[in-house]
């Protein structure tokens, strides 16, 4: 049966295996160089991208395959062809589809009608590919994920959602440090809490940044204004100013803590120059790991169909 990565929940039983696979691919890239020989990945982007687009495209080239950038403006979707029909047709040409969408329901719809794997390249609910690379980066630094304290500081958004679920799946103690009115969705927090009960991890929401970051092994942040939220820019900046990841937060974290940011970063807003360029930052390894993680995701979905 065809498998998709729409939510990080789709990897509930294999997330650790995929993280380890991504680390092996990073260590031994030549072992996998023909794994997607003559295969094509279609990439539909409704929103901008630097990392996701380039890492998927380069990943496919390095695996011996090919990636096509598909803008919805140029596809017939832009002129009213349904997502279901698009899925039916693309399934006849391609081997895999990556979709970055405004609405998660459209990613679900594409997957429902696709005969080939669909990978969510970010929507308004989740960013599952990002979290594979993030947890890979944490595992490279700490060897084991279980029991680590990971604090997400900022907006309870798509990245926060996948991080809560993925971290809980790995038995981590995950904290969402978000201001009132910007908490992660309740359904996600409930799901993550249930996962943590199974794995021995925990999930907490703490509104005070200093309290949340005490003894953190990982501090993670993301933009305050996600793609699609631009109209709320002013009110969001006011609500999040106290949630900047700066030296004060790093000081209360564990001595060997790492700081992650999915990027793009807005320096001076959600993170300071000192922190993102400082000794605790692992943001550039994290960005690199997107490419190794994309390979692991593609190969896992494609080979285990
Ligand atoms: N982190 C991330 O997904 O970056 P892009 O928006 O550049 O793809
Ligand atoms: N939360 C951000 C992530 C960007 C990679 C957004 O959705 O714009």
Q: So what's the pLDDT on residue 304? A: 61
Residues of the chain with pLDDT under 50: none
Q: So what's the pLDDT on residue 25? A: 98
Q: What is the 3-state secondary structure (H, E, C) of 58-127?
A: HHHHHCCCEEEEECCCCCHHHHCCCHHHHHHHHHHHCCEEEEECCCHHHHHHHHHHCCCCEEECCCCCCC
Q: So what's the pLDDT on residue 302? A: 87
CA-proximal residue: ligand 1, atom 7 (nearest): 50
Q: So what's the pLDDT on residue 305? A: 55
* The CA-based dihedral angle spanning residues 192, 15, 131, 84, taken in that order and rounded to the nearest 10 degrees: -90
Q: Choose, from 290, 292, 294, 300, the residue flagged as catalytic.
A: 290
Q: So what's the pLDDT on residue 108? A: 98
Helix 128-142 vs helix 15-27: angle between axes, to the nearest 10 degrees? 70
Given its phi and psi angles, is residue 281 left (phi above 0), alpha (psi -120 to 50 degrees) or beta? beta
The ligand 2 atom nearest the CA atom of 155: 1
Q: How far out from the chain centre does Cα 226 lie?
A: 13
Active site residue 130: yes
What residue ranges in the chain does DSSP mark as E strands? 40-45, 66-70, 96-100, 118-120, 149-153, 173-177, 202-205, 218-221, 258-261
Active site residue 266: no
222 lines ligand 2 (CB under 6 A): yes
Token match 């509930």: residue? 12
């Amino acid at each position: 049966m065809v498998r998709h990565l729409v939510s990080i929940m789709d990897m509930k039983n294999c997330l650790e295996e995929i993280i380890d696979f991504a680390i092996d691919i990073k260590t031994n890239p030549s072992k996998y160089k023909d794994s997607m020989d003559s295969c094509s990945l279609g990439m539909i982007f409704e929103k901008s991208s630097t990392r996701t687009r380039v890492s998927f495209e380069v990943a496919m080239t390095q695996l011996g395959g090919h990636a096509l950038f598909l803008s919805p403006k140029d596809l017939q979707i832009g002129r009213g062809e349904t997502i279901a029909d698009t899925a039916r047709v693309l399934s006849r040409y391609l081997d895999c589809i990556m979709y970055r969408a405004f609405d998660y329901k459209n990613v679900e719809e594409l997957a429902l009608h696709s005969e080939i794997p669909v990978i969510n390249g970010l929507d308004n609910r989740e960013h599952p590919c990002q979290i594979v690379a993030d947890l890979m980066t944490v595992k490279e630094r700490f060897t084991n994920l279980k029991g680590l304290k990971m604090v997400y500081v900022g907006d309870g958004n798509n990245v926060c959602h996948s991080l809560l679920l993925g971290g809980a799946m790995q038995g981590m103690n995950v904290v969402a440090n978000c201001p009132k009115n910007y908490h992660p969705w309740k359904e996600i927090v409930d799901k993550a809490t249930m996962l943590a009960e199974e794995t021995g991890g925990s999930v907490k929401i703490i509104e005070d940044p200093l309290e949340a970051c005490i003894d953190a092994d990982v501090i993670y942040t993301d933009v305050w204004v996600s793609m699609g939220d631009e109209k709320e820019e002013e009110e969001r900046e006011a609500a999040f100013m106290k949630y900047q990841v700066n030296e004060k937060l790093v000081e209360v974290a564990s001595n060997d803590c790492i700081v992650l940011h999915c990027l793009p970063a807005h320096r001076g807003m959600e993170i300071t120059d000192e922190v993102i360029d400082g000794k605790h930052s692992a943001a550039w390894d994290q960005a690199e790991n997107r490419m190794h993680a994309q390979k692991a995701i593609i190969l896992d979905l494609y080979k285990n169909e």
